[in-house]
């Protein structure tokens, strides 16, 4: 049986199974896209493929639901990654915070003795004695924040834009549609 014979217009896998049984996941992956449009696309692209022999019109809905259940978490992660908002020119942002605490302790002990000698004396006599003790404590705390953005010195902006355009060309929604249909059909056309 061909894909187009089993999943006809109005009875496609997206409108009858995916959107109805997995509405949250469908919205996360395909957004507001009408499921009948996805069914029409799947019929256009894969209508001539042969459905796996174990799938009949009686169990098709259950099989499609099982295939979706097995794969939907990965598809949701893929969709979330593709829909994540970022700047292609500065895709990497890093922030480093450092806190330094410096404690300095100084202790100085000075003793100063002054002596006088009269013009007719032979020895010096202590006349003045000064003692000075200085003790200082100082604590400094420094906090620095470094933020780096950009592609890095070794990457060129034109290369990054080319990669972004290629990523956009690889339409992930088409890949998910193909992945679902591939599970239901044989690998080659007859």
What's the whole-number mean pLDDT along residues 121-140?
Answer: 69
Give me the pLDDT at residue 155, please: 64
Q: Is the pLDDT of residue 3 over 60?
A: yes
What's the whole-number mean pLDDT along residues 154-164?
Answer: 70
At 106, the pLDDT band (50, 70, 90 cuts) reads: confident
At 98, the pLDDT band (50, 70, 90 cuts) reads: confident
Q: Is the pLDDT of residue 66 over 80?
A: yes
Q: Is the pLDDT of residue 124 over 60?
A: yes
Please write down the long-range contacts of 46-50, taking CB distance under 8 Å and 24 or more positions apart: 46/3, 46/178, 46/181, 46/185, 47/2, 47/3, 47/4, 48/2, 48/3, 48/4, 48/189, 49/2, 49/3, 49/181, 49/185, 49/186, 49/189, 50/1, 50/2, 50/3, 50/185, 50/186, 50/189, 50/190
Local structure of residue 91 (DSSP, 8 states): -
CA distance 117 to 125: 6
pLDDT (tens digit, 9 = 90+) per residue, 79-89?
A: 887 777 666 66
Local structure of residue 121 (DSSP, 8 states): -
pTM equals: 0.59
What's the whole-number mean pLDDT along residues 41-45?
Answer: 93
CA distance 74 to 98: 38
- CA-nearest of 185, 187, 180 to 71 is 180
At 9, the pLDDT band (50, 70, 90 cuts) reads: confident
Give me the pLDDT at residue 151, please: 55
pLDDT (tens digit, 9 = 90+) per residue, 147-157?
A: 766 655 556 66
Q: Is the pLDDT of residue 171 over 60?
A: yes
Give me the pLDDT at residue 20, please: 94
């Amino acid at each position: 049986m061909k894909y187009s014979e089993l999943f006809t217009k109005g009875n496609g896998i997206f409108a009858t199974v995916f959107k109805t049984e997995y509405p949250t996941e469908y919205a996360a992956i395909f957004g507001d896209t009408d499921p009948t449009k996805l069914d029409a696309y799947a019929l256009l692209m894969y209508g001539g493929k042969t459905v796996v022999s174990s799938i009949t019109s009686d169990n098709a809905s259950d099989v499609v639901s099982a295939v979706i259940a097995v794969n939907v978490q990965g598809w949701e992660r893929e969709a979330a990654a593709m829909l994540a908002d970022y700047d292609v020119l500065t895709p990497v942002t890093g922030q480093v915070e450092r806190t330094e605490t410096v404690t300095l302790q100084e202790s100085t002990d000075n003793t100063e003795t002054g002596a006088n000698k009269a013009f007719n004396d032979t020895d010096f006599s202590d006349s003045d004695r000064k003692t000075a003790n200085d003790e200082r404590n100082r604590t400094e705390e420094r906090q620095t924040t470094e933020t780096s953005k950009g592609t890095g010195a070794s990457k060129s902006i034109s290369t990054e834009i080319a990669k972004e355009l290629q990523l956009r060309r690889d339409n992930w929604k088409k890949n998910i549609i193909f992945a679902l249909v591939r599970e239901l059909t044989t690998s080659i056309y007859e």
